[in-house]
Structure 1
Amino acid sequence: MIDVQRLRVWQAVVASGSVHAAARHLGYTPSTVSQHVKLLARETGLVLATRVGRGIEPTAAGLRLAEEGSEVISSLGRLDHVVSDLRDGRTDHLSIACFASVAQTWVPEVAERLRHELPGVVLEVSISEPHGGRGRRAPDLEVASEAPDEAGSTGAAFVRHDLGLDPFVVALPVGHRLASADEVRVAELADETWIDNVVYDSPTLRILVEACRAAGFQPQFAARCDDHQATLGLVAAGLGITGLPSLAAHRLPDGVVAVPLVDPVPQRRIVANQRHLTAHTRASAVALEALQQLATQVRE
């Protein structure tokens, strides 16, 4: 069995670029680091590094071992987290993975419900990030968005709960010609300057672009920002307009108004994927019920 501490030391050598640098970062002597590396090479039967001048250079096998070892160390980090909770008397926890607008608008109310009904529960929230980092728990609930016409693809480890549809609005500066309208036809925005609030390909961006294409034009983006709140700040500054789900427009900065979009009505489906292994827990049930009730408010 591979010694985990030696694996950690080897990862430090690869990340630091040298034995001496790794020794400084870890608080070890260079000879101690070198000894860990030699023992790890003996354990694995691999050539981890080759001598280059007065230093070493990781081999392809050494780099692969350092990379693959991250998953093992992350798993041990999660186990450390569990042990810490048990030692401190915290025997229940809930991990939620979600996108930013859910974290800002729904998670505080979910947390309040949990605090009221299960005062000892430990809540962990991951926003727009994959789970698997050191100490991070696998999600008990994943809140995700998808296009309404997409076939849901929940993995075998989860049970899917449809929370409903979230229609889009257009965010406009207060002085915009359409700012006082009750609703805006998508075609009326064909000549506008747009600001992308996603940057990376996502269901939200695809839904908006498809709505524009259905109205006969391709949106022209003058700026891209990977945060919808920062994007709304750019709208307030007059750099352009943006289209986003109504949940993401829950908190508008001064100088911005949100108007519903029609013809067509772009909308996303919000789903909650509940992990089978923890679905029986009271924490998971309470959080799911809270999410379902909050989603009902969006539809009303």
Structure 2
Amino acid sequence: MAKTADHLFDPILLEAFLAVADELSFGRAARRVHLTQPALTRSIQRLEQQLNTKLFERTTRSVGLTHQGAALLAPARQVLEAHHAAHQSVVFADEGLTGRVRVGFPGPSASDAVGRLVRAVRHERPGIEVALRSGTLGYEAAEHLVNSELDIAILRWRHRPVGVSSRIIGVDQHVVLLPTDHPLAGRDSLSISDLRDEDWIVLDAHGSPLLETFWGACQREGFVPRLTHRAPDAWTAMGLVAAGLGVTINYDATYRKVPRDGIRVIPVSDHLVSHARLAWRTEDSSAAVREVLRISEQVMPTVTP
């Protein structure tokens, strides 16, 4: 059987072929594909010419498939299904129904919000894959957005990067972590100045807004904190505090739903302002990103500071 690559998989001709093969009647097949009978006949003839073979045995009373026609049935159906799937993929991608959206978040302080977002996206747009990246903090996360390494990020910053838009999704309460046997562990709240003589454990995160806020509070109180340990993440910092190696500061959301064995979590009385934000590239044209941002408004509504 000769093949003409340019026309072998013409879906219009294959649809006409399958209609005749299913109906075994040119009249019924023509009505099914919304063509006149002469137009349908020409489509079949064109396909037969391209394949250089006869697909139907036709008499005045009946229509039947030849062996070659029967052999084309399954491949023709597969081609039309693939054509339909390809068309749907393009349409869905254009409408934001499919795609991959990369979401960065700092860690425990945003885990609840991320969980709600992923669940909502899966429910409303199962064709969109949400790829999560934990441990992206502050300006690092903003840099990943600008460089198109992330599409959306939950972060905190003190200065908005150029080309990035955001909305506030949370107002942070700062807390300090003390060992349970610390002399100040029974207090309902503490100021930064109450802890000026303590050994401090801080997160080892370059450009962290939390550290900037902490350093600013210490400077206003007129002291330089004694940094004794740098922890790679909030979990490690908590473990070091429980071991009696110092105190640390973080956001209350970080430790809201974790075991607190060996530590006390105490609110900071100083007015330390920090906002959790949902951020994205201002000029991002991805329909999938726009759809995830739309869904995010339902599960992470904008907060007025």
Range into which the TM-score falls when normalised by the shorter chain:
0.5 to 0.7
Q: Does 1:281 align with 2:290?
A: yes
In 1, the alpha carbon distance for the partners of 2:115 and 2:267 equals 25
In 1, the alpha carbon distance for the partners of 2:149 and 2:297 equals 16
Quick one: which of 100, 105, 119 aligns to 1:98?
105
Deviation at 1:138, TM superposition (A): 4.1
Which runs of no fewer than 5 residues in structure 2 stay unpaired? 1-85
Q: Does 1:140 align with 2:151?
A: yes
1:181-196 → structure 2 map (5 Å cutoff): 181-196=187-202
Deviation at 1:183, TM superposition (A): 0.7
Q: Does 1:175 align with 2:175?
A: no
CA contact (8 A) 2:109 2:255 kept: no
Per-residue CA distance 1:198-225 (angstroms, 9 max, x = gap): 3434211111111122122111011111
Deviation at 1:253, TM superposition (A): 3.5
Question: Which aligned runs of 4 or more in structure 1 are off by greater than 6 angstroms?
Answer: 130-133
Quick one: which of 190, 211, 216 aligns to 1:210?
216
Tell me which residue corresponds to 2:166. Answer: 160
Per-residue CA distance 1:25-84 (angstroms, 9 max, x = gap): xxxxxxxxxxxxxxxxxxxxxxxxxxxxxxxxxxxxxxxxxxxxxxxxxxxxxxxxxx9x
In 1, the alpha carbon distance for the partners of 2:271 and 2:237 equals 21
Tell me which residue corresponds to 1:3. Answer: none
Q: Does 1:108 align with 2:115?
A: yes
SS of the residue aligned with 1:122? strand
CA contact (8 A) 2:203 2:233 kept: yes
SS of the residue aligned with 2:176? strand
Letter in 2 for 1:277: S
In 1, the alpha carbon distance for the partners of 2:123 and 2:221 equals 47
Deviation at 1:261, TM superposition (A): 0.6
CA contact (8 A) 1:245 1:267 kept: no
In 2, the alpha carbon distance for the partners of 1:102 and 1:181 equals 23
In 1, the alpha carbon distance for the partners of 2:191 and 2:114 equals 32
SS of the residue aligned with 1:292? coil
When residues 95 and 225 of structure 1 are mapped into structure 2, their CA distance, relative to the original with a 3 A threshold, is: same
Per-residue CA distance 1:243-287 (angstroms, 9 max, x = gap): 11112222243111211111x222322222233323673323112
Deviation at 1:119, TM superposition (A): 2.8
Quick one: which of 256, 278, 284 aligns to 1:272?
278
SS of the residue aligned with 2:101? strand
CA contact (8 A) 1:167 1:265 kept: no
In 2, the alpha carbon distance for the partners of 1:189 and 1:255 equals 19
Deviation at 1:161, TM superposition (A): 1.3
Deviation at 1:115, TM superposition (A): 2.2
Letter in 1 for 2:291: R
1:1-300 → structure 2 map (5 Å cutoff): 91-129=98-136, 138-147=149-158, 151-153=159-161, 155-156=162-163, 158-250=164-256, 251-262=258-269, 264-275=270-281, 276-278=284-286, 281-292=290-301
Per-residue CA distance 1:118-174 (angstroms, 9 max, x = gap): 2332110122456899xx974331222123xxx423x33x43212343121001111
SS of the residue aligned with 1:267? coil
Deviation at 1:102, TM superposition (A): 4.3
Deviation at 1:93, TM superposition (A): 3.0
CA-based RMSD: 3.1
CA contact (8 A) 1:103 1:127 kept: no
CA contact (8 A) 2:121 2:295 kept: yes
When residues 102 and 120 of structure 1 are mapped into structure 2, their CA distance, relative to the original with a 3 A threshold, is: farther
In 2, the alpha carbon distance for the partners of 1:274 and 1:191 equals 40
Larger radius of gyration: 2
Tell me which residue corresponds to 2:81. Answer: none
In 2, the alpha carbon distance for the partners of 1:104 and 1:271 equals 14
Tell me which residue corresponds to 1:48. Answer: none
CA contact (8 A) 1:198 1:228 kept: no
Letter in 2 for 1:292: P
Deviation at 1:191, TM superposition (A): 1.0
SS of the residue aligned with 1:196? strand
Which runs of no fewer than 5 residues in structure 1 stay unpaired? 1-82
